[in-house]
Chain A
Amino acid sequence: MTFAAAIARANVAVFRHLADVRASLDNVAVSGVYDNPYATALNGMATRQPRFQLLDQYAVRTVQGSTLRIIDGAQAGTRYRVSGVEPDGTGVTTLLLERQP
Chain B
Amino acid sequence: MSHYRSTLREAIRAALVAAATSAGARVYVNPTDDRTRFPALVLEDDGEAQRALTMPAGADRVIERRYTFTVRAEVQQVAGYDDARDTLAAEVESALATAGVVSGVKAITPAGCDFSQDNGGERPIAVATQRFEALYFTTQGAPGVPI
A90 contacts B by Cβ under 8 Å:
no
Interface core residue of A45, A98, A101 (most chain B CB under 10 Å)? A45
Chain B interface size, as a band, is 20 to 34
Q: In chain B, what residue has the closest Cβ to A41?
A: B118
Are A101 and B78 in contact, CB atoms less than 8 angstroms apart?
yes
Are B121 and A47 in contact, CB atoms less than 8 angstroms apart?
yes
B123 contacts A by Cβ under 8 Å:
yes
A residues 69-101 touching B (CB-CB < 8 Å): 80, 83, 96-101
Are A98 and B76 in contact, CB atoms less than 8 angstroms apart?
no
Give the secondary structure class of A's interface: strand
Are A48 and B121 in contact, CB atoms less than 8 angstroms apart?
yes
Give bound CA distance, A98 to B76, whole Å.
12
Residues on B with C-beta less than 8 A from A48 are 121-122
Are B125 and A41 in contact, CB atoms less than 8 angstroms apart?
yes
Partner of A41, one of B31, B42, B121: B121
Are B78 and A98 in contact, CB atoms less than 8 angstroms apart?
yes
Are B118 and A99 in contact, CB atoms less than 8 angstroms apart?
no
> Which are the 6 A-B pairs with shortest beta-carbon distances?
A47-B121, A41-B118, A46-B34, A99-B122, A46-B36, A48-B122
Interface of A with B (CB < 8 Å)? 36, 39-42, 44-50, 80, 83, 96-101
